[in-house]
C-alpha cells in the first residue's frame, strides 16, 4: 500500500512550515536517507530526508506553499512493485508513514507551565461609545456618517452599537428619536492601542478607509516571535537592574589584542574581537561566579545549569534569532569571536540547526552599534535573565573629586523574579561589571 509523506515537525515549536523546494520530482526513485525537500521552519531552512524507499508517485503540496500544517500530507510514495499511477490517485488515502526523523533539540529546561490567569473582578459595564483616537476622531461607518450629516446629528453624542463601539447606520436611526443620544461632553475612554489590540484584521482595516497602506502578510518567524514574546511578558514577572560600566581598559585591550592577532599568508588576521565578544565572555563568567542566577524556573523546581550557554540576538530581515555559544565560560575570546561570526552568518542565511538556537541559559541583546544608550529586553523562556547592552560613549565622570572623561557603556539586566530576586540579580550584574571593567580577568 502506498505511503503518505507528511510535513515533519523539525523543531519543538513548529506548528506550520513552508515547503520551500522539492529536490525530487514525480516518478523519481527514492532511497532511505535521500534529501527530498527543503522545509522552512520558524527559524531556518532545513533538509527533509526520506525514511522509506520507493517511487515518488504524487506531490500533493507544490513547492513555494506557505503555512503547511505539521503532519499534513505533502506527497505520496509508491512502494516496491506498486502501481505508481494507482498510488498517485490514492493521495490522502495512503497508509501513514513511519515516524519522520525530527531534528534533535538541544537539552534545555522545559518552559514554565503557565499558571491559570486570575479572573479579574467584574467591572460595571460602561455605556457603549464611539471610540476615539487622540485626535478625537469618531469611528463610524461611511453610511452612518452620511445619515448623521443629513439629519444634523453630532456623532460625538451617539452611542455606537457596532464592533468595539463603532457607530453604524442603525445608531443614527435611533438617535433621530433621541434614543442612544448622550448628554454633550459624555464619552467613554478608550485608547486606540487598546482598541486595535483586540480587533480583527478586517476591523483594523476599516479604520483606514482611504486605503493608504500596504498589507504585508506575517512571515512564520514573525508569528512565532509574537507568540513567544507575548507569552513571556504575560507569564514572567520581569524586573530590571541597570549599571554603567567604564570600558576604557576593555577598548585598549581589544585594540592591542587585535593588533597582535596572527595573520595568514594573505594578511588576514586569525580573529578580530568585538566589544560584544567581551560581553559574552564576561556574562558567562559572571554566571559561574553567581551560580544561583544560572537557573531556569519550572513549577516543580529550579534547574541549576552547570555551564553558561549564552544566546546572542542576531537581527534578521523578518525578525531575530538567538544562536548559542555553548559553554562560553571555558572558551577564549578569540574562539567566541570566530564562532559568533560563523553562527551569525549561517543565521542570516537560514542555515542554523535547531540545537544551535534552542536552549541557552541566558541571553545578550546588543543595540550599541545602533547608538542606543540603554534599553530593556524581554526574557527568552525558559531562561531567567537577559542582558541589554547599550553603546559605549564618552561621558563626564567624577574621579577623586575631579571631572574626567571616560568611555561608559550602560547595561540593563532583565530578571525573572520567580527565579532571580533583586539582590541575586544585583550580585550577577555587579560580577559582570567587575569583569567587563577589568578584561585581564577574562584572559588569565
- Which of helix, strand or coil describes residue 67? strand
**Active site residues per annotation:** 417
* Alpha-helix runs per DSSP H in 247-390: 248-259, 275-289, 333-348
Strands 310-312 and 362-366: parallel
Please, what's the b/e burial string for 310-346 (b: 16 or more CB within 10 A of its CB; e: otherwise)?
Answer: bbbbbebeebebbbbbbebbebebbebbbbbeebbeb
The C-alpha R_g of the chain, in whole angstroms, comes to 29
- Residue 8 zone, left/alpha/beta (φ > 0; ψ -120 to 50; rest): beta
Cis peptide before 382 (omega within 30 of 0): yes
* Alpha-helix runs per DSSP H in 260-369: 275-289, 333-348
CA atoms within 13 A on the CB side of 158: 32
- The Cβ of residue 50 has, within 10 Å, a number of other Cβ atoms equal to 23
| DSSP string across 198-259 | T--HHHHHHT-TT--S---PPPHHHHHHHHHHHHHHHHS-EEEEEEEEE-HHHHHHHHHHHH
- Residue 9 zone, left/alpha/beta (φ > 0; ψ -120 to 50; rest): beta
Amino acid at each position: 500500500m502506498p505511503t503518505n509523506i507528511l510535513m515533519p515537525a523539525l523543531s519543538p515549536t513548529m506548528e506550520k512550515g513552508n515547503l520551500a523546494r522539492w529536490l525530487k520530482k514525480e516518478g523519481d526513485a527514492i532511497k532511505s536517507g535521500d534529501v527530498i525537500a527543503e522545509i522552512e521552519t520558524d527559524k531556518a531552512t532545513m533538509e527533509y530526508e526520506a525514511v522509506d524507499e520507493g517511487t515518488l508517485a504524487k506531490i500533493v503540496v507544490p513547492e513555494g506553499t506557505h503555512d503547511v500544517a505539521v503532519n499534513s500530507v505533502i506527497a505520496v510514495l509508491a512502494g516496491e512493485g506498486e502501481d505508481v499511477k494507482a498510488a498517485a490517485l490514492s493521495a490522502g488515502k495512503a497508509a501513514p508513514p513511519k515516524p519522520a526523523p525530527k531534528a534533535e533539540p538541544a537539552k534545555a529546561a522545559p518552559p514554565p507551565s503557565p499558571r491559570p490567569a486570575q479572573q479579574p473582578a467584574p467591572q460595571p459595564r460602561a455605556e457603549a461609545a464611539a471610540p476615539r483616537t487622540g485626535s478625537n476622531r469618531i469611528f463610524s461607518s461611511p453610511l452612518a456618517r452620511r445619515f448623521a450629516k443629513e439629519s444634523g446629528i453630532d456623532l460625538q453624542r451617539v452611542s455606537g452599537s457596532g464592533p468595539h463601539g463603532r457607530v453604524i447606520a442603525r445608531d443614527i436611526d435611533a438617535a433621530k428619536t433621541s434614543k442612544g443620544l448622550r448628554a454633550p461632553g459624555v464619552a467613554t475612554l478608550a485608547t486606540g492601542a487598546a482598541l486595535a489590540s483586540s480587533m480583527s484584521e478586517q476591523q483594523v482595516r476599516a479604520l483606514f478607509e482611504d486605503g493608504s497602506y500596504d498589507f504585508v502578510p506575517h512571515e512564520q518567524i514573525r508569528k512565532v516571535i509574537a507568540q513567544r514574546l507575548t507569552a513571556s511578558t504575560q507569564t514572567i514577572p520581569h524586573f530590571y537592574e541597570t549599571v554603567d560600566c567604564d570600558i576604557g581598559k576593555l577598548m585598549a585591550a581589544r585594540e592591542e589584542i587585535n593588533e597582535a592577532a596572527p595573520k595568514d599568508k594573505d594578511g588576514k588576521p586569525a580573529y578580530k574581537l568585538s566589544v560584544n565578544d567581551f560581553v559574552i565572555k564576561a556574562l558567562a563568567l559572571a554566571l559561574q561566579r553567581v551560580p544561583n542566577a544560572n537557573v531556569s524556573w519550572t513549577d516543580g523546581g529550579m534547574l541549576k545549569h552547570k555551564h553558561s550557554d549564552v544566546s546572542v540576538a542576531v537581527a534578521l530581515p523578518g525578525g531575530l534569532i538567538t544562536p548559542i555559544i555553548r559553554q562560553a565560560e571555558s572558551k577564549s575570546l578569540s574562539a567566541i569571536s570566530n564562532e559568533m561570526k560563523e553562527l551569525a552568518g549561517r543565521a542570516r542565511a537560514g542555515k542554523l540547526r535547531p540545537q544551535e538556537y534552542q536552549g541557552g541559559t541566558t541571553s545578550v541583546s546588543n543595540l550599541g552599534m545602533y547608538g542606543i544608550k540603554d534599553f530593556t529586553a524581554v526574557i527568552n523562556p525558559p531562561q531567567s535573565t537577559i542582558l541589554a547592552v547599550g553603546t559605549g560613549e564618552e561621558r563626564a565622570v567624577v574621579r577623586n573629586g575631579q571631572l574626567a572623561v571616560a568611555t561608559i557603556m550602560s547595561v540593563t539586566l532583565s530578571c525573572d523574579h520567580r527565579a532571580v530576586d533583586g539582590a541575586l540579580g544585583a550580585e550577577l550584574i555587579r560580577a559582570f561589571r567587575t569583569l567587563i571593567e577589568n578584561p585581564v580577568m577574562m584572559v588569565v
